[in-house]
Amino acid sequence: MSSSPWIAITVIENLPLKEGRTLHWKGLDIALFNLGTRVVAVENKCPHMDGPLVDGIVSTFEGRITVTCPLHTRRICLESGQTLKPATDGPCVRTFPAKIVDGLVLLQENTTLDVI
Amino acid sequence: MKQRLAVIGNGMAGVFCVEQILKHNHNFDITIFGDETHVNYNRILLSSVLAGEKEVDDIVLNDIDWYKQNGIQAKLGLRIDKIDLANKTIHSVQGCTTSFDKLLIATGSSPFLPPIGGIDKQGVFVFRTLDDAKHLLALSGAGVKAVVIGGGLLGLEAARGLQLQGCDVTVLHLGTHLMDRQLDFTGGQFLKRKLESLGIAVRCNAVTTAFTGDAHVEGVTLNDGTQLPANLVVVAAGIKPNSGIAKIAGLDVNKGILVNEYLETSHPDVYAVGECTEFEGQLFGLVAPLFEQGKVLAASITGNRGPVFTGYTPATKLKIMGADVFSAGDFDDMREGVECVRLEDPSLGIYKKLILRNNKLEGVILVGDASDDHRFMDWLRNGTDLTEQRRNLLSPAASAGLGEDAAALPDSHTVCGCNGVSKGAIIEAIHNQGLCTLAQLKDKTRAATGCGSCAGLCQSLLKAVSPDYAEEKAKVLCSCVPFSQDQLREIIRSQKLKGVQEVLDIYGNGIGCEVCKPALSYLVDVVWLGDHDEDRSARFINDRVHANIQKDGTFSVIPRMRGGVTTPAELRKIADVAEKYNVPLVKVTGSQRIDLLGVKKADLPGMWADLGMRSGQAYTKGVRMVKTCVGSTFCRFGTQDSIATGVELERRLEDLFTPHKTKLAVVGCPRNCAEATVKDIGLIGQEGSWQVVVGGAAGKGVRKADLLITVETTEEALDASALFFQYYREHGVYLERTYDFVERLGMEKVRRDTVYAADDVKQGLLDRLQKSKDRASDAWLERDNPRPYQFAPIEVPNDGLVQIQMQEKAHV
Ligand code: SRM
Ligand SMILES: Cc1cc2nc3c(=O)[nH]c(=O)nc-3n(C[C@H](O)[C@H](O)[C@H](O)COP(=O)(O)OP(=O)(O)OC[C@H]3O[C@@H](n4cnc5c(N)ncnc54)[C@H](O)[C@@H]3O)c2cc1C
Ligand code: SF4
Ligand code: FES
């Protein structure tokens, strides 16, 4: 596992509830989602045709929390980065470990690409 | 010589029995006495009246014409206080005397009033009659503190009704758990949680000792000393049979009037049906067995003795949307020799329990999901041997769709428990009377007109049997909220749900998806005429930022240009803005306006401000544009002022959401230069009149619009457009264009319900449109007051920086 340090990004109030917000950091374009009790972060780039996942609608698919890409409705698992629909073995999105501590959103740069 | 049949009680059981008598070849002069002033109505649906789901007119079973047409004398508002068996007369409180040859007593029952101090105070009610419901409705409302005594079926339905009227409701229940006669402890707990999630407070083990206050009730005292404030109390502590006059007359009476298997009393010319009766120790509180009684008596009294009344298996269904309960048979699992099969899913709020003896069902409880109740009821009634079904007792046979399910039922199966209509009777009616819609089926057989829970089954029977059955588009919206859009509209309206999340929490999986969330956003908006709780996380990105997303994540900006009319100054502004923001492409659209493409999200508010123009709604399911031709302003053929009319039409309808995008056009003569015949709504000018056409398309498919109406004045043409527009908003399925909408409903119906509707109906449509319009505004005004973080990304240096973000928060 990566041992990169956790970086404070912002306070949780800066992320709209159940929506995404873009984060520019270290040259990366990251989509942060505020799920109410936790925050998840994925690279803001749909594996299909680079669609902005941050603008998608948060939903569930077979019990997993997903975002639906606004361009052609691919469903991406926000935890694993997997494309769940249409194909479960499709390409993955890069994910970043994220957590909320004392109201601060902390992010860790994920050096290992999650390819399954 | 005709025989005089007098009926005491104009309620559900008595009148049902009379209806059955009319079906036989009879020889009676019938007079019905009722102390309520109303014609025969469906008492079961009083809960729906209280909940605001039904109007008084909706629950009438037999109107005054029915009595007249069948030669029945109705004596309403008349209370019988004496039966003279020796002289065969009955006497009313008002002092009139009537002779009879045969007498039917169907006096029902009365609410039981426990001996609690202060129960006679104003503001303390029972819930039995239409007048009770009206009184409750008059007194309930926001801020009213209501207490319901009794957590049985009636009390809970009253509680939900009052709460939907805006009251703060607490249910006080004497027992250890809710509906303790129909549910075990666990079932009661599940139900309690469900009701609490709907916003009803529940206290069990609550012994009410007094009602406090002066003339009017102000509070309720419990035996543990608790004081609850209350301006309204409903006592629903049980019922007792109205058997008093029968007892005084000398008939055999225990708790109820004793009847045998032919509903005969101890006097040869006197019969009784309904909740006032007692049969082999059984008392009654639900209509199904009473209708059985009615049929048996109607047959035997007309000389057709056949089947006998054999009592019933108690079965109860709670009619609170979102809190399904079904219970039947004996559910006590502590008895010797019984087995118990159960399923508990707290997160879904579902509890199911079956009691079996020797592989036969003896009792069943369903909480949270009572969708397959008829299957269990069938097993119970028929004593089906379940050895082979043991592996999937609680899971409905997955492959069997509703249709197959219905096909598998025996003809004797009672489909509508409320009205006692069997599958066989329904099929016969479908065949013999050529029924093809649910409405016709209801009308002819009365199936599904009681509590309505069998409507789905009736529908599948129609589908399976009727050769002319036309698929009614009642598709469920989405597996996240498995209801049709019509049902959802009804749920949103009647259950007073104003936000998408509420609907998802109570009726769905709590999360939703990109299919149902935008649809629900539309439905709450249109049901509440814009007075809803807007939830942007439920909207597609276009509606979050009021611009259309492009393939590269940028957006397009199309300002409104009503009727396609612009000015040099406006064009200059557009040109300036395009340069200032480096807009990569400026294009004239297919809809007579200008598109600025390739705009960054963060630039949107600034551009709108610089443009100073309204949003053209090119990104949403709403009013796009009204295309116009030059018309009489310049054109040598023009007969009407198409430009001014188009501009006005756009002004009246813009800024509103519709089921799908709505495109309009106005042309000055039938040459049709702005293509009005292929628009959702088109106005076609001709000498001295306008044709209003609807449902046209030239997109994926081409469809020529249908004529809605031809009118003389421009004002009438605008009104006709508005009527259709609002009607489409209220009845269209989300993502249904008008070209599908008019085909689904048929133009006849559309015309009848809009331009040819009664004046008050038309006015209603226009008023609701106006209300929505009053609340709507130009979406781009959000530039002055953006939601937090609607447009800007977060920028963070490599090592993170919290302070900057803290400041950002402080600014908003
Ligand atoms: C911009 C425009 C093309 C243009 O450059 O002229 C356009 C662009 C799009 N059209 Fe269109 N339509 C445009 C006029 C039309 C017209 C002509 C008209 O309105 O008179 C039609 C045929 C008329 C009709 O709608 O019936 C038209 C029929 C469609 C359809 C097919 C609709 C159908 O049910 O048949 C779609 C797809 C859909 O809605 O499902 C569509 C969908 C789209 C979308 C919104 C696709 C999308 O979801 O992203 C396109 C957005 C492109 C973008 O990058 O923003 N567009 N589109 C026109 C904008 C008009 C405006 O000012 O608002
Ligand atoms: C709010 C509510 C919800 C219900 N929900 C359900 C349900 O979901 N399912 C279900 O199966 N059942 C339900 N019931 C019960 C159902 O309504 C009754 O079982 C049914 O109405 C009984 O019919 P009845 O004819 O015996 O009595 P009623 O319908 O009460 O009719 C008796 C009539 O006789 C009149 N009367 C009485 N005495 C006299 C007299 N001396 N002179 C003249 N007239 C007299 C009464 O005023 C009344 O109008 C509900 C009841 C209520 C109140
Ligand atoms: S529709 Fe008729 S009036 Fe309008 S521009 Fe064409 S020809 Fe002229
Ligand atoms: S880019 Fe995401 S689905 Fe096509």
Q: Which tens digit of pLDDT belongs to each residue from B113-146?
A: 999 999 999 999 999 999 999 999 999 988 899 9
- State whether B227 and B248 are in the same domain: no
DSSP secondary-structure letter at B559? B
Please calculate the CA angle A49-A55-A57 and round it to the nearest 5 degrees: 105
A89 — pLDDT class (breaks 50, 70, 90): low
The answer to whether residue A101 neighbours chain B at the CB level (below 8 Å) is no
User: CA B325: distance to chain centroid?
Assistant: 18
Q: What is the ipTM of this complex?
A: 0.76
Would A80 be classed as within a structural domain?
yes
- State whether B651 and B682 are in the same domain: yes
Would A116 be classed as within a structural domain?
no
- State whether B287 and B214 are in the same domain: no
The answer to whether residue B805 neighbours chain A at the CB level (below 8 Å) is yes
DSSP secondary-structure letter at A103? T
Would A115 be classed as within a structural domain?
no
Q: Do A56 and B795 touch (CB under 8 A)?
A: no
In this structure, what CATH number is given to the domain that contains residue A34?
2.102.10.10
- State whether B706 and B630 are in the same domain: yes
Q: How do B109-111 and B239-241 pair as beta strands?
A: antiparallel
Q: Do B509 and A60 touch (CB under 8 A)?
A: yes
Nearest ligand to the CA atom of B685 = 3
The answer to whether residue A68 neighbours chain B at the CB level (below 8 Å) is yes
| Residue whose CA is at the smallest distance from ligand 2 atom 4 | B44
The mean pLDDT value for B502-530 works out to: 92
List, as own/partner pairs, every contact residues B673-677 make where C-beta atoms lie below 8 angstroms and the sequence separation is at least 24, other chains included: B673/B629, B673/B630, B674/B564, B674/B592, B674/B627, B674/B628, B674/B629, B674/B642, B674/B646, B675/B627, B676/B627, B676/B705, B677/B704, B677/B705
Percentage of chain B modeled with pLDDT above 90: 66
The answer to whether residue A73 neighbours chain B at the CB level (below 8 Å) is yes
In this structure, what CATH number is given to the domain that contains residue B650?
3.30.413.10
The pLDDT of residue B487: 84
The answer to whether residue A2 neighbours chain B at the CB level (below 8 Å) is no
| Structural contact between residues B246 and B83, judged by C-beta atoms closer than 8 angstroms | yes
- State whether B58 and B71 are in the same domain: yes
When mean pLDDT is compared across B31-45, B235-249, B433-447, the lowest value belongs to: B433-447
Q: How far is A60 from chain B (nearest CA, A)?
A: 6
Would A113 be classed as within a structural domain?
no
The pLDDT of residue B396: 58
The pLDDT of residue B800: 65
Helix (H) or strand (E) holding B711, with range, is: strand B706-711
Give me ligand 1 centre to Cα A58, in Å.
Answer: 26
When mean pLDDT is compared across A44-58, A101-115, B265-279, B599-613, the lowest value belongs to: A101-115
The pLDDT of residue B57: 82
- State whether B626 and B739 are in the same domain: yes
Would B690 be classed as within a structural domain?
yes
Q: Do B794 and A21 touch (CB under 8 A)?
A: yes
Cα gap B442→B447, rounded to integer Å:
5
Domain count, chain A: 1
B665 has which bridge partners?
B627, B682
Would B307 be classed as within a structural domain?
no
Residues of B in contact with A24 (CB under 8 A): 793-796
Would A59 be classed as within a structural domain?
yes
Cα gap A14→B505, rounded to integer Å:
25
**CB nearest to A9's CB, from B513, B788, B794:** B794
| Structural contact between residues A40 and A33, judged by C-beta atoms closer than 8 angstroms | yes
B312 — pLDDT class (breaks 50, 70, 90): confident
The pLDDT of residue B405: 61
Residue B691 pLDDT greater than 70, yes or no:
yes
Q: How far is A67 from chain B (nearest CA, A)?
A: 9
Would B285 be classed as within a structural domain?
yes
The pLDDT of residue B810: 43
In this structure, what CATH number is given to the domain that contains residue B79?
3.50.50.60
- State whether B106 and B133 are in the same domain: no
Residue B397 or residue B445, greater confidence: B445
Domain count, chain B: 4
Residue A17 pLDDT greater than 80, yes or no:
yes
Cα gap B327→B115, rounded to integer Å:
30
Nearest CA in chain A to B805: A10
Would B413 be classed as within a structural domain?
no
Q: pLDDT for B546-600, tens place per residue?
A: 999 999 999 999 999 999 999 999 999 999 999 999 999 999 999 999 999 999 9
Please calculate the CA angle B355-B359-B361 and round it to the nearest 5 degrees: 40
B556 Cβ below 6 A of ligand 1:
yes
Residues of B in contact with A11 (CB under 8 A): 802, 805-806, 809
Nearest CA in chain B to A19: B537
- State whether B203 and B264 are in the same domain: no
Q: How far is B700 from chain A (nearest CA, A)?
A: 18
Give the length of chain B: 812
When mean pLDDT is compared across A57-61, B444-448, B545-549, the lowest value belongs to: B444-448
Residue B298 pLDDT greater than 70, yes or no:
yes
A74 Cβ below 6 A of ligand 4:
yes
B740 Cβ below 6 A of ligand 1:
no
The pLDDT of residue A115: 41
Residue B474 pLDDT greater than 70, yes or no:
no
- State whether B229 and B248 are in the same domain: no
- State whether B229 and B246 are in the same domain: no
Among the atoms of ligand 2, which is closest to the Cα of residue B417? 11
Would A67 be classed as within a structural domain?
yes
Q: Do A70 and B549 touch (CB under 8 A)?
A: yes
Would A75 be classed as within a structural domain?
yes
Residue B22 pLDDT greater than 70, yes or no:
yes
The pLDDT of residue B324: 87
- State whether B155 and B38 are in the same domain: no
Percentage of chain B modeled with pLDDT above 70: 96
Would B770 be classed as within a structural domain?
yes
**Both tokens assigned to B709:** 């109406």
Cα gap B101→B7, rounded to integer Å:
11
The pLDDT of residue B472: 53
| Residue whose CA is at the smallest distance from ligand 4 atom 4 | A72
When mean pLDDT is compared across B75-84, B394-403, B627-636, B777-786, the lowest value belongs to: B394-403
Would B689 be classed as within a structural domain?
yes
Q: Which domain holds residue B678?
A: 621-777
The answer to whether residue A86 neighbours chain B at the CB level (below 8 Å) is no
- State whether B198 and B284 are in the same domain: no
B404 — pLDDT class (breaks 50, 70, 90): very low
Would B394 be classed as within a structural domain?
no
Q: How do B145-149 and B168-172 pair as beta strands?
A: parallel
Among A6, A11, A12, A14, the strongest candidate for a mutation testing the B interface, having the largest count of B CBs within 10 A, is: A14
Q: Which domain holds residue A81?
A: 6-108
Residue B254 pLDDT greater than 50, yes or no:
yes
Q: Tell me the range of B176-190, B404-418, B432-446 where mean pLDDT is highest.
A: B176-190
DSSP string, B9-59: --SHHHHHHHHHHHHS---EEEEEEESSSSPSB-GGGHHHHHTTSS-GGGG
Whole-number mean pLDDT of chain B? 90
Residue B628 pLDDT greater than 60, yes or no:
yes
Helix (H) or strand (E) holding B523, with range, is: helix B516-527
Q: How many CB pairs under 8 A join A and B?
A: 100
**CB nearest to A59's CB, from B512, B536, B796:** B512
The answer to whether residue A62 neighbours chain B at the CB level (below 8 Å) is no
Would A114 be classed as within a structural domain?
no
